[in-house]
Amino acid sequence: MKYSLHLSDKVNPQTDVTIFELLINDKNLFEKFCKKVLKDGNLKNELSKTMAIIEQASSGYLLPAKKHNKINTGSATFQIFEAKAKILRVYYFIDEKNGNVIIIGGKKGNQKQDIEFVTKTVKEYFDERE
């Protein structure tokens, strides 16, 4: 199996919907991203905000589109969201059987490529599960 889920330990585990991180060939891209952000230091606030957004979204809070936006995936049946800070974006999708699954983080400047990547990844994920 190319894809597997790892229970996220970067968020409050008490959310209504459980939050996972996606492993691709056992590699956790989101964790790698977090480590880089924390090492660089200047976007720690933004990472913290995006984690707060995902937690609140996973507990059913209403959120403005400026913080939490549904990605247009065309005719696909799955739902991908981005948690937004000024520069950082964190992408996750809904796996109704398990919970909310964080895929990757990225910067606003790479948004187009990141969205292409997450859309392709989520499609493959569900294809593999079938």
Measured at the alpha carbon of residue 100, what is the angle toward residues 7 and 89, in degrees to the nearest 5? 100
Q: Is 18 in the site for other proteins (CB under 8 A)?
A: yes
Closest CA to 14 of 99, 78, 88: 99
Q: Is 1 in the site for other proteins (CB under 8 A)?
A: no
Q: Is 59 in the site for other proteins (CB under 8 A)?
A: yes
38 vs 113, which CB is nearer to other proteins?
38
Q: Is 14 in the site for other proteins (CB under 8 A)?
A: yes
Find out whether 118 and 91 touch, Cβ atoms under 8 Å.
yes
List the interface residues with other proteins, window 70-99 (CB under 8 A).
70, 79, 81
- Whole-number Å distance between alpha carbons of 50 and 55: 9
* Cβ neighbours around 128 below 10 Å, total: 11
In whole angstroms, how close is the CB of 64 to other proteins at the nearest point?
4
Contact residues for other proteins (CB under 8 A)?
A: 7, 9-14, 16, 18, 31, 34-35, 38-39, 44-49, 51-53, 55-57, 59-70, 79, 81
